[in-house]
Structure 1
Amino acid sequence: MTEQFDVVVIGAGPAGLSAALNLVRARRKVLVLDSNRPRNAATFASHGFVTRDGISPLELRRLGREELEAYEGATFAKAVVSAIEPGFVVTAGASYQASAVVIATGLTEKFPALPSLRTFYGTSIHSCVECDAYEYADAPIALIGETDDLAERALLISQWSRDLIVFTNAVGRITADEETRLAERGVSVDRRAVADVAGDRDGLSGIVLADGDVIPRSAAFVRPMYSTNLGYAASLGLATTAEGWLEIDDSGRTSVPGVYAAGDSTAPGPQQLIVAAGAGARVASAVNRDLLA
């Protein structure tokens, strides 16, 4: 028989765990399904989470799961969700039926194709400015990306260091007006193609350009291309934005009654763990109230 739950939460990052914790404290029977492949697994330390500044993201997940599983109504399963059928039958190896579903599966990152980028990702190359820029205050920093919002991100990084060079990899778009504004803050733009990044066991040392130049840098921020992980929910017909984000109201309700979303799959913004956790708590409140109705 299909096991019954009040709520199935898909994803055990800070959004999913926060939603699940608040729901089980509302005496809901909650199942959390997670593949255990977080995109911040390479990061040694996360920042900005009050009382947990500097903690490993994996340790934060472990603590969150430990707290959740202390409650009688909580169940956790390591599993990949393959489908959600109408009626909220969730398939993840086994089948589970729920009165409500919370989607908290986050995003997938696609980086510029630089062979050694992953070697330094999470140590001296990062994607979240708000999370990691403080550690590189006044250091020589690179911003590498291929999108049309590089100027905006560069202005943000310049709050921490103005020894900043933006590398567009001959793809990213920065207008003349944007370049002028960046120059006023001491930020320069290099539009040449990037071949790779260089460094050693101590960290990043430079950006290797296709023409052979190596520009010394001790840290870098990379601008990924983001995509959502929502193939398993295709049968639900959830409304999305033109960019692929889930459309939600202020409480995390999607276009399908009974389906909610929290975290990075709902909108671009600061990729901070504490932001996702707050969204999960907000969604839990909406789910509990809606189930009462």
Structure 2
Amino acid sequence: MSEHAYSCAEVRAAIGAHVLGALDASEAAAVDTHLADCAECRAAYDELAGMPALLGLVGAEEAAAVGTALPESPGSAGSADEVGLRRLLARVRAERALERRRRLVVALAAAAVTLAVAGVGGWAVGQALAPSGPPVAGATPTPAPTPTSTPTPTAHVTAPPVRWSATNATLAVDGTATINGVPWGTKVDIVLHGVKQGQVCSLTVYDRSGRRWDGGSWRVAYGDGVRWSGGIAVPANEVVRIEITATGEHPLLTIDG
């Protein structure tokens, strides 16, 4: 997509990729600008905003088991976003042999992507992630109910997101975390430079109480940087630190405010 004021049709086609962090910075900014002024498109975005939380249930070992060579239909044409979505769908198909719960989660995420590409709304997710650390008595989060009516526009679209940056000079790795409050908790968009192609990275988020939340895992598909989105069931104003580790629990980057 070129740099211009996006129409509703263009934004609906890009929502799925935007939720997954697959748009580049200029495209993401153009979509956010449209969402700030269009309640209908904003509601469609909110309905798909739970996808990162569902994909976040896929662990690092499972992400590592997915092959990097993903088939594409011969002679197919389309934008880079469409290619990325096809790769996601292929990855979903490759994961179907794994355990029942994760198979259901990824299938739901694939259905959301399909709806976003078709420009169709009406699909909502209220799945919450469980923290990876031991529970604290009286503080266990509960899954949010699936809304039965059109979601009310939320502040995370119109309010500026919170961006934190950090650098690991030893490993020559730098990154930025963009934190957005969403109806189901917090969406975290990660941009990393200096990571190696083929590495499997994991996102961990810490809240004010010191609890550790698993934000998901992903394989680095390109050598020139990576954009990825994860999610946790904690309000954005409770997030205090973000850690990114590589395969084998090797720390790559710690990002905080």
TM-score of the superposition, structure 1-length normalised?
0.23
Question: Between Structure 1 and Structure 2, whose CA radius of gyration is higher?
Answer: 1
Q: TM-score, normalised by structure 2?
A: 0.25
